Structure 1
């Protein structure tokens, strides 16, 4: 069906194709209060009506994905629909039921505590679920209010789009809308809550089905519903799988394994740290979802995590993300086992994913260096580089982008050439003395020899490296500057960063100020170094 809302004589058309809330069982109760929901995939719920919704930013590119145009974005109805204030005729918003392992421990029922699926739409042959984050309480909100604040919503809106243009699988973000309401949050969980401006993000993805969607059903032995959900997912999102085949659940798991490792490979490629890789935050589409306390590596550090909650154990640190992804896949395998009834094929899919990740990780790291083949000894070249990057605090994004400017012949004859090329990536160039300098020079000498073996012209290599090593990423301090300005009523920086991050591999001379190391003032500032899950 098409839902049409008239405004000023015009009409906003969306082709509504709700499937999840029509093909899967609903919670029989309509009471919107925290409770355990069993034998249901979701609960119907009405978004909260915000006091004074106001659009802070919208993406025309994402609007066109779902069938809207520029005129639609300027309408009053757009603000009301995508803030939750008004419902499109024929739609029935809902919150999804799922569980999850949080920081390695089973947490039981979690669900959409502050996310509400508005509708599902089709446009240009593609299917999209439109979800509001921060639109009020649901039966899965536990002790929370279901709302979100401006700082976390702005970070999610910008990061969703930044990740997409980096070539990383992700949900998209249609718009960022302030609610006009104050939301009380304790930013650092230190007993000092304060009111903050509320906001809502409209997230766009094929679906928001998660690993935890299957885990909760298996944990409750709701096997009929587990099969229904698996068959629904395969039927609508995995068309290459034969839905009548006895091996369909294994084939589904194998596909999720492959898309998940591809996603994490991209994270490692650009230095992105998710921060909360719980199984309820893992999409079965292999897309990045649930942007909370994420961050990009500033100084290269494989042990860094942006999440204050993870400060002690650093479970979700940068260097551990691949292993956590595989751990989460084991959890999904365990959830599917009751309907697969064999461990061996699930284990085989896991083993294949592990082997594929190891191979592709080496290829990816060599590609970042401008090397397109794999030779014996390349693993040592990569390992020695990572040691050097941590011996002197080095900005990862700047280092790899500048590295493309090295001239192979000079590296072979003058190892100091490499240090001169990448010096702007060093936070304290004075650290490059004694043994540390020798370590770096030895690596650049080995790198020059490796480039010689690759026999690629410098200009071609530079062009290839610049295609996978971004010049611009959404550093935490950049997002914080936009948050600070927006809280004062100035949204210009949101638009500037959004525009910058749609072309992260391009030079953009007018935006050169963003190609820089994290400023000293941001090193320990809240929101710029470590962040909490509070939003």
Structure 2
């Protein structure tokens, strides 16, 4: 296995001078050198051939002992120097101080086909930032991250990627629901791949310590490596950098909302400066369309990171990034103007996204009322988001709405409790469909063309929590075929895949309250 190693982060930024792997506060450094923990008996669960190709890894390489050793943490490539990043963050709205890579170790950076990739292992042992934790991961969370990273990429959502997930042969003690019932689970390591894993928190930690020289080094490095089109130096360049991060954050969150994804833990240490979905923990896809839903048990009371608040939290987090890099800019009006642009950009992009979801190309004044009415109706009874929008594409603009409920037939599969569609709600749905059909008549697309356009933005298959849990249950029993089956399914989420229709269905009732299928903890 030959990789073109091209490390930049650990060559251009300041290293921790203390090389002992002891839990501590790390000052005046962007990272600490640390080696992965040797697993007892590594075993490959699954690997992504597509991600391997991004790194220049061949199919033959993927079956080699070298692949198993390097990406399980058993072997460090000669000439590479693994490290853990130092960063801080706001968690659930409160400053948490130093956090850092507590269970992630960056192996190296790879340059292939004019693209740069950082490669890291999650679950490969303790680092100086692990605090009281063990730095390990379990199979269930590793499978969830691996499958979701690749599912999101196929959906067209900006995301970090996952090369592989491996069993370590070790048992890891975890209290999954934080209820005092800890148990040993199979340990695992997932190999994450991204252009960069730099977060808002990397800047926050330097700012919190008034380490302005290193704050400047980190910002200059980020601009040079990831925003090369930004040419002005000094204040103008830093403002352009901040604006670019804001724009990418908006685009990412609108994509989340398009497919019904809820991140679950939008702390500032989980926000990528590249606008990539990062750190897949207690995430989930909407089953019933509900702006108030969160998959995170830790967030159950206040629902800070609920589906309908993700855009506002993105802005709140960007304010924290603005505070962190302010010493480099010192221009509050200019920074506030960029943050205000975020609000405008989000409103514009969200509206355009929703128009696309309902198959409208032209933007007319009445569309605001049409979309707002739809979102209100979707929440009046439990309605599956994925099934509804996929079914909506089958509506014909010239069909006459006969008496009875036949007009609901294209979307009938989406209702979890059809008995809740009382006379008042059916009447309101009928009124909406009349309005929708009238609006479609102003469009130039044929019904078939509109269906194709809608099906290109409304996925048929998403990684529902119960699906991931089925893969986890099978894998914990030694059967990795369900992981592979779901991986293949989710590589083509917009395609019909007639032989996979069993996955195009509402969440089964048995999964409504099952652990791992409804809400999840941060250890999930």
TM-score (norm 2): 0.99
**What SS does the aligned partner of 2:291 have?**
coil
Q: 1:373 to 1:123 in 2, by over 3 A?
A: same
How far apart are the structure 2 equivalents of 1:81 and 1:462?
Answer: 46
Q: Which residue of 1 aligns with 2:183?
A: 194
Distance 1:424 1:329 in 2: 39
Q: 1:262-305: per-residue Cα shift (whole Å, max 9, x none)? A: 00000000000000000000000000000000000001111000
Distance 2:108 2:401 in 1: 59
Residue of structure 2 in register with 1:233 after alignment: 222
Partner of 2:253: 264
Partner of 1:178 in structure 2? 167
Where does the alignment leave 5 or more consecutive residues of structure 1 unmatched?
1-11
2:338 aligned with 1:343: no
Instruction: Output the CA distance in 1 between the equivalents of 2:198 and 2:232.
Output: 18
- Structure 2 residue aligned with 1:88, among 66, 77, 95? 77
SS in 2 for 1:527: coil
Per-residue deviation, 1:455: 3.8
- The runs of 4+ residues in structure 1 deviating greater than 3 Å are 411-418
The answer (yes or no) to whether the contact 1:294–1:307 under 8 Å persists in 2 is yes
SS of residue matched to 1:118:
strand
1:116 positional shift: 0.3
- Pair 1:423-2:409 in alignment: no
1:354 has 2:339 as partner: no
CA drift of 1:456 comes to 2.4
Alpha carbons 2:235, 2:328 under 8 Å: kept: no
Aligned partner of 1:19 in structure 2 is 8
Is the contact made by 1:412 and 1:449 (CA closer than 8 Å) also made in structure 2?
A: no
Deviations along 1:321-380, whole A, 9 cap, x unmatched? 010001111111111101111111111111112101101111100110000121112111
How far apart in 1 are the matches of 2:343 and 2:210?
A: 29
Checking the alignment, whether the CA contact within 8 Å between 1:363 and 1:373 is kept in structure 2 is no
Higher deviation after alignment, 228-237 or 387-396: 387-396
Matches within 5 A, 1:267-306: 267-306=256-295
- Equivalent residue, structure 2, for 1:466: 455
- Of 364, 371, 380, which aligns to 2:369? 380
- Which position in structure 2 is the counterpart of 1:3? none
Number of matched residues? 524
Aligned partners of 1:162 and 1:474 also within 8 Å? yes
TM-superposition CA deviations, 1:248-273 (whole Å, max 9, x none): 11100000000000000000000000
- CA separation of 1:414 and 1:120: change in aligned 2, threshold 3 A: farther
Give the CA deviation at 1:246: 3.6
1:409 aligned partner: 398
Structure 2 counterpart of 1:224: 213
Maintained 8 Å contact 1:406/1:417: no
Residue 274 of structure 2 corresponds to residue 307 of structure 1? no
Structure 2 Cα separation of the partners of residues 421 and 171 of structure 1:
35
Q: Contact 1:51–1:179 at 8 Å: present in 2 too? A: yes
Matches within 5 A, 1:138-217: 138-217=127-206
Unaligned runs of 5+ in 2: none
Q: Does 1:393 align with 2:382?
A: yes
Aligned counterpart for 1:444 among listed residues 433, 446, 458: 433
Length-normalised TM-score, structure 1: 0.97
Residue in structure 2 matching 1:67, options 38, 56, 63: 56
Q: Pick the aligned partner of 1:328 from 317, 326, 347.
A: 317
Q: Which residue of 2 aligns with 1:521?
A: 510
| 415 and 215 in structure 1: CA distance in 2 versus 1, 3 angstrom threshold | farther
Residue 78 of structure 1 is matched in structure 2 by 67
- Taking the aligned partners of 2:49 and 2:409, their CA distance within structure 1 comes to 42
Give the secondary-structure state (helix, strand or coil) at the position aligned to 1:302: coil
